[in-house]
A and B are shown apart, each in its own frame.
Chain A
Amino acid sequence: MFAFTDEQLQLRESVRRYLIDHATVSRTRELMDESAGFDRLSFQGLFNELGIGGVHIPEEYGGAGLSYVELSIVLEEMGRALYPSPYLSSNVFAANALLLIGTSEQKAEWLPSITSGERLATVALYEESNRSIVANIEQSVTDQSFTGTKSFVLDANVADVFIVVARDGFDPVNPLRFWLAHSNDSGIQTIAMESIDSTRRIGRVSFENVKVERLGDRNQDHGGFGKFIDFASVALANEMVGGAQWLLESSVEYANHRVQFGRSISSMQAIKHKCADLLLEIELAKSGAYRAAQAIAAADSAFPAYASIAKAAANDAYMQAAADAIQIHGGIGFTWDNDTHLWFKRAKSSQVLFGTSEFHRDQLLDRIAVLEAD
């Protein structure tokens, strides 16, 4: 259960090789200044060449029918390469919402085109009231119509469809539900938000009397929102450990070449002990991320606790890696020309999306009964 199979290792290898060719840092730097923020050609290649548009999506909806473990492998490689694309927002988050909550008609309508890359979808979640606690959403849908503003919407600038998280205004307990809204609705306006992480685009989307379609059946919930958040946290955690690993490797490589006081700084314990500690923290975070992905794949009831472990561990490991990488590089690490800051910024944007470490640690203790029992 804890070792990757040969097929999984091959998948990792092929994604890594594709991204080495198509996601060079110099290309990423160009894209940071462009409005779309991603390379459509290399993005299409994910679907046409690699066939990873729907790793964990059932074959009947055009996916590969594999599990969350394989999806996590793909995401870890994308995180490592800092690959800027709407893959996470569309093929993972939006696809997850459809998979978890959608009716079979909705899945059949949307998943094949998301899986093939023809259509881009994104989940509109954050609003003023829930910057730190993800579930504190206040806006509601009434009479199939939504009016409100969502911010930090990933890849809002390129989305064809929004999956809006809002309360059901007609339901007396006001539960959180997911609603589909077409981006060509005249009541939708999207404004790009500036982010320190230009490799992950965010937007503010205002909805004015926009007609929405309920995702899933009115009377069924299955804890959909909680699952959605946990699945998202695990996906993000796996992406993050890939980025952390890149930072460690680049720091070690730099230290091996940098000479001060007549010797390589890699021979200095102040530097190498930092790297050893970092390796430990990253390996632990990887184990958390992998274990949580396995739990989702196996429908293990402990997955909510593992999701919190995974996200908290990945947050801390990635930020530590980013801070240490800059410190090990010294002055050059603080410059724009050096690549370290690109990963630092990705670490920061990932840290605050879907829950900080403090949030997940607190949540973990509420979920610990499951942990204790196993």
Chain B
Amino acid sequence: MEWTEASVRNELRSFLEANWDPNSDLLDWRNKLIDAGWGMPSWPERWYGRDMPQSLLSVVAEEFASVGAVTVARTGIRLLAAETLLAHGNDAQRERYLRKILTGEETWCQLFSEPGSGSDLAGSTTRADLVGDHWIINGQKVWTTSAHHADFGLLLARHDWDIPKHQGLSYFILNFHQAGVEVHPLRQMNGHASFNQVFFNDAKVPRNDQIGSSGDGWQIAMTTLMHERRNAGNIFVEARRRGDFEGLIYEHEAEETKVVLAPYTWYPLRAGRVDIVLPRASDTGAINNPAARQEIAKLMIMSRCAEWTALRARAAQQQGQPQGPEGSLGKLAGSNIARQAAKVHTLISGVDAMACGNDSPESGIIAEILLSVPAISIAGGTDEIQRNIISERVLGMQKEPRMDTGPFKDVRKN
């Protein structure tokens, strides 16, 4: 059937009227959504969806928001796992995992980065050796958000060391509930421990839990990362619930959200908290200091122009115009803004910038910003990698000569 905005609204409204109850059980409600196809309407009908175009999802979000209806579980890495399974998994895997991803019963994490392979993700040295009906996994992953409460992980590991590096990778579903997996928190320079290190010591993956075939790992990982970037871009499109809604179901949802979102509490700080610059500049009188004024204005200009650039990219996309360069620049712009914000916060605070106790500026927020900003130009693709991508894919410049072709076992490693 051909969806239109009106047909989506009509059908969803009658569904919500008939079924939505803020005092229902969270799990029951989500199963109802999944069965009706209103959990992930853009997914295929065969897999809990309604084959709806992406462009109508904002209409769905609005309808949910207007009555305060809770959605299927969408936080953290879970939807990346689901999209990856939809794209590359087999039916048995989809049957086993998709529903419990959406109900929130099972949580997932992404096992990609390693101590020895950061920007060079394809340089993974975690081993996967097939013994009988199981893949035996040995090695270490790092920067794994949510690993400490994950049930499953999306694992990129190497099954073949005699072929070039991208070809020797495979993709697995790793069950965390086993003896061969150990999770340790990783403490960051800002004091938080939002990530983990995960150690595999003869951990086991049943053959059935390999996604795709041996050698497909890199291609499947690219699918996961593409969805990660897309989600990051869409984060602001989500409609907010209007008004205050009360009911038992919100308490359950809040408990779940609290656990999953805990690692992300400092993310606004690493982006520089541009929003508090002007009020603080006024309060402290820095707004009257000519040198500070210049730097504050630079920040405001950068940040405004970056917002407008993102809007330009979105508008062009909505009009069906070819993707211009403005779409790939957001991450690098974000790093520049965060760095400039840190500079401005320092200028405004003066010697206070080193204080971090309760009697420090904004109860330690400023210090925490200054210690969080260095992460933004590294996480999710360093500035340097972004510049490579921009110069090669947008500007059509040439790649660096490679030193890592040929059999992976002969490539220099850490």
Contacts and interface: CB of A to CB of B under 8 A. Distances in A.
B398 A361 contact: no
B294 A362 contact: yes
B387 A1 contact: no
Interface string A281-321: 00111111011000000000000000001001100000000
Given A3-B321, A267-B398, A267-B399, A364 B297 contact: yes
A264 B400 CA distance: 9
B267 to A, nearest CB: 22
Given A3-B321, A272-B391, A312-B297, A280 B398 contact: no
A361 B297 contact: yes
Contacts of A256: 396-398
A220 interface: no
Nearest to B279: A372
Interface stretch (B9-17, B149-157, B302-310): B302-310
Interface in A253-271: 255-256, 263-264, 266-269, 271
Interface in B386-412: 386-388, 390-392, 394-401
B315 A368 contact: no
What bracket does the count of chain A residues touching chain B fall in?
35 or more
A285 B401 contact: no
A181 interface: no
Contacts of A360: 297
A60 interface: no
Contacts of B397: 252, 255-256, 266-267, 271-272, 275
A269 B394 CA distance: 15
Contacts of A193: none
A273 interface: yes
A1 B314 CA distance: 11
A288 B301 contact: yes
B332 A313 contact: no
Contacts of B388: 269, 272-273, 276
B228 interface: no
Interface of A is mostly: helix
B341 to A, nearest CB: 15
Interface in A353-374: 358, 360-362, 364-365, 368, 371-372
Contact of A284 (B296, B305, B387, B390): B305
A69 to B, nearest CB: 13
Given A276-B386, A283-B325, A3 B278 contact: no
Nearest to B294: A361
Contacts of A264: 398
A30 interface: no
A246 B387 CA distance: 20
A368 B278 CA distance: 9
Contacts of A368: 278, 300
A287 B312 contact: yes
B319 A277 contact: no
B314 A371 contact: no
A276 B387 contact: yes
B326 to A, nearest CB: 5
A292 B341 CA distance: 24
Contacts of B305: 284-285, 287-288, 291, 309, 313
A272 B387 contact: yes
A268 B400 contact: yes
Given A280-B390, A368-B300, A269 B400 contact: yes
B288 to A, nearest CB: 10
A276 B390 contact: yes
A2 interface: yes
A267 B400 contact: yes
A190 to B, nearest CB: 37
A269 B387 contact: yes
Contacts of A371: 300, 304
A15 interface: no
Interface in B78-117: none
Contacts of B293: 361-362, 365
A337 to B, nearest CB: 25
B298 A279 contact: no
B311 interface: yes
B234 interface: no
B191 interface: no
A252 B398 CA distance: 10
Given A272-B395, A280-B333, A288 B294 contact: no
Given A283-B329, A285-B305, A361-B294, A275 B395 contact: yes
B318 A273 contact: no
A287 B309 CA distance: 6
A288 B312 CA distance: 11
B243 interface: no
Interface string B193-231: 000000000000000000000000000000000000000
Interface in B317-342: 318-319, 321, 325-326, 329, 332-333, 336
Given A3-B319, A280-B332, A364-B301, 12 more contacts: A1-B315, A255-B397, A279-B390, A279-B394, A283-B326, A284-B333, A288-B301, A291-B308, A309-B301, A312-B297, A313-B305, A360-B297
Interface of A: 1-3, 248, 252, 255-256, 263-264, 266-269, 271-273, 275-277, 279-280, 283-288, 290-291, 309, 312-313, 358, 360-362, 364-365, 368, 371-372
Interface of B: 278, 287, 290, 293-294, 296-298, 300-302, 304-306, 308-309, 311-312, 314-316, 318-319, 321, 325-326, 329, 332-333, 336, 384, 386-388, 390-392, 394-401
17 contacts: A2-B316, A256-B398, A264-B398, A275-B397, A276-B386, A276-B387, A276-B391, A277-B332, A279-B329, A279-B391, A279-B394, A280-B390, A283-B325, A284-B302, A285-B305, A288-B305, A362-B297
